[in-house]
Amino acid sequence: MSETAIEFLQEWICEKCQAPAEPIRIEKQAETLARECAAEAAEAGIPLEELQEEVGDIQDLIAARLEDAVEAQERASGSD
C-alpha cells in the first residue's frame, strides 16, 4: 500500500471512528462510514483496492475501531 493510502486511512479512521451514540448500531454505522471512506479516498485519488490490499475489508476494520471506541468510552465512564 502506498504511503499516501496509509496516511489517508490512518487520519480518516482517527477522525471518523468515534463511539456511536447507540453501540448496538455499530455494524450499520460501519457500513455507512465504509462507503464514506471509499468515496473520500476516491476523491483523494486513492482506489479502494489499494486501501484493502493491506487492511482487508474496510467495513470490518471500521467496525472493529468503533467497538474499540465504545469499550474505551465504557471504561472511561466506569472509572468515575
Coil, strand or helix: which one is 23? helix
HSE (side-chain half, CA atoms, 13 Å) at 29: 20
Coil, strand or helix: which one is 46? coil
Q: End-to-end alpha-carbon separation of the chain, Å?
A: 41
- Is the pLDDT reported for residue 62 higher than 90? yes
Q: What is the pLDDT of residues 18-57, one digit of tens each?
A: 877 766 688 889 999 999 999 999 999 999 898 888 788 9
Percent of the chain with pLDDT over 90: 35
Which pLDDT score is estimated for 37? 93
> pTM of this prediction?
0.79
User: Please, are residues 27 and 63 in contact by the beta-carbon 8 Å criterion?
Assistant: yes
Amino acid letter, 31: E
Which pLDDT score is estimated for 17? 86
Which pLDDT score is estimated for 22? 67
